[in-house]
A = this chain, B = another copy of it.
Amino acid sequence: MRIALDAMGGDFAPDAIIDGVIDAQQHLDADDQVILVGPTQTIQARLAGRTGLGERISIVEAPEVIGMDEPPVESLRAKPKSSIAVLAKLAKQGQTDAVISAGNTGACVAAFQMRMRNLPGVNRPGIGVVVPTFGGPVVICDVGANIACKPINLYQYAIMASVYSSRLLGKTNPKIGLLSIGQEDTKGNELIRKARVLIKSDPDLNLYGNVEGRDIFKAVVDVVICDGFVGNVVLKLSEGLVDGLFNAIKDELMREEPQLALTFKPIVKRIYQKYDYNEYGGAPLLGVNGTALICHGASQARTIRNAILAAKRYHQQRINAVIADYLQARAQRMSDAQTN
């Protein structure tokens, strides 16, 4: 399998990316190839002196870089030779089986959508992220690809996230929750109410009903569906709160009980790692015609390594084929849902 990575994407690029690729080596199959996309010289300098890389790593030149905070569409237009733009072109030309980037999320979504196109039957792709919760991993979709969702988009997110949950996390008949402001069916805005009707009418989906913010980390459901605006707020809030709380505990302990703090540290660290988003590597852009993973901007080498392994599993599990078949078998239902 050929896996292409944006060598310049993320806060710790290119080092974290290249180190992640090197870490992943031992887990790859003999015929796996890794393509690093970015400024050749920068990448070569970082690779220099590394042994045992063999022939499996190649470099594709991309001299430009899109900053994490640049406006996505404008910067893609202004920087056709950026690592994200070149990465998307490789996928379009069939020169790679998967693309991975920890760069500007908006630019990744725009470039991958534009170049790779959507899976047949998909209206809008959505980012499906796996979050570690107190009840095990939960998939949240969408977390930022589509901030103006229609009911059919949420319906398709429920389908794609369920397939992802069952094929990648091994959940049988995953429970689907619609993120709302109350568990009762009457609670929620028009988008949620209309999406519920569509999902409920599909006998092959396991709709639990509405879930509230507090239910997400209790793993009341396996899959949480929401529009990309809400999902993005949820994801960033969760990260900020988890990091902040563990820091607060650390600081208070150091101030109040420095001796105890040292004993406590390894335990807290072990607990923290359970809720560490780096464990799951990248989040797939569900609905594009290919394997495209978007990683956290603060991705470390470990995150990138895990993203490479996640891309392999996503590809091997033929998740896109399953989604496409599911949608094709419901072509009429989907065209009816358009009008809602």
Interface residues of A in 238-290 (CB under 8 A from B): 238-242, 244-245, 247-249, 252-253, 256-257, 260, 263-264, 267-268, 270-271, 274-275
Q: Contacting A237 at CB < 8 Å: which of B71, B134, B147, B213?
A: B213
Asked if A229 is at the interface of the complex by the 8 Å CB criterion, the answer is: yes
Asked if A144 is at the interface of the complex by the 8 Å CB criterion, the answer is: yes
- SS of A interface (majority): helix
**B residues near A212, Cβ cutoff 8 Å:** 232-233, 236, 240
A134-B248 CB under 8 A given contacts A217-B241, A238-B213, A240-B213? yes
A144 to B218, CA, bound (A): 21
**B residues near A240, Cβ cutoff 8 Å:** 212-218
Interface residues of A in 274-322 (CB under 8 A from B): 274-275
**B residues near A179, Cβ cutoff 8 Å:** 233
**B residues near A248, Cβ cutoff 8 Å:** 134, 271, 274-275
Asked if A148 is at the interface of the complex by the 8 Å CB criterion, the answer is: yes
**B residues near A256, Cβ cutoff 8 Å:** 267
In the complex, what residue of chain B is closest to A249 when comparing beta carbons? B271
Q: Contacting A181 at CB < 8 Å: which of B180, B228, B270?
A: B228
Q: Contacting A184 at CB < 8 Å: which of B71, B233, B252, B257?
A: B71
* A186 x B268 contact (CB < 8 A): no
Asked if A189 is at the interface of the complex by the 8 Å CB criterion, the answer is: yes
Asked if A337 is at the interface of the complex by the 8 Å CB criterion, the answer is: no
* A275 x B245 contact (CB < 8 A): yes
A-B residue pairs in contact (CB < 8 Å), sample of 23: A148-B190, A179-B233, A180-B229, A181-B232, A212-B236, A213-B236, A213-B239, A214-B240, A217-B240, A217-B241, A218-B244, A226-B233, A229-B230, A233-B234, A237-B238, A238-B241, A245-B275, A248-B271, A248-B275, A252-B267, A252-B271, A253-B267, A264-B264
* B181 x A229 contact (CB < 8 A): yes
A264 to B267, CA, bound (A): 12
Asked if A55 is at the interface of the complex by the 8 Å CB criterion, the answer is: no
